[in-house]
Amino acid sequence: EAQVTQNPRYLITVTGKKLTVTCSQNMNHEYMSWYRQDPGLGLRQIYYSMNVEVTDKGDVPEGYKVSRKEKRNFPLILESPSPNQTSLYFCASSLSRTYFNEQFFGPGTRLTVL
């Protein structure tokens, strides 16, 4: 089954404790992206990757890191989480940038930073 998986689905952590949210897709997609969703602010892009070893900042990259060492994986790293990073996070992938209509979204990761 074609899908984007994220882990964990739910996470409660404390300020400053490094964490990684994994994202994996099994569709051989080139383009992957991370978003955060906050009430009243909608969906905002954090980072995106056009292909392996190619990543770029989205609209709200501060406090986050990503890597794309393999085509299927695109982990989101919070080196020192803060309460303002409490949010619902989505990973997404598509065949390429020009195929947004076939962008698949993961189920989301709800992160709470205390």
Q: Measured from the CB atom, is 19 or 50 closer to another protein?
A: 50
| Shortest reach from residue 69's CB to another protein, in Å | 19
Interface stretch with another protein, choices 19-27, 33-41, 62-70, 73-81 (CB under 8 A): 33-41
**31 touches another protein (CB under 8 A):** yes
Reading the block at residue 13, the tokens are 């952590």
Give the dihedral sign, CA 104/68/5/62. negative
Give the CA count within 13 Å in the CB-facing half-sphere of 103: 16
- CB atoms near residue 90 (< 10 Å): 21
**62 touches another protein (CB under 8 A):** no
**Binder to another protein among 22, 45, 67, 73 (CB under 8 A)?**
45
Residues in 70-89 that interact with another protein by CB under 8 A = 88
Q: Rounded to an integer, what is the distance from CA 96 to the centroid of its chain? A: 16
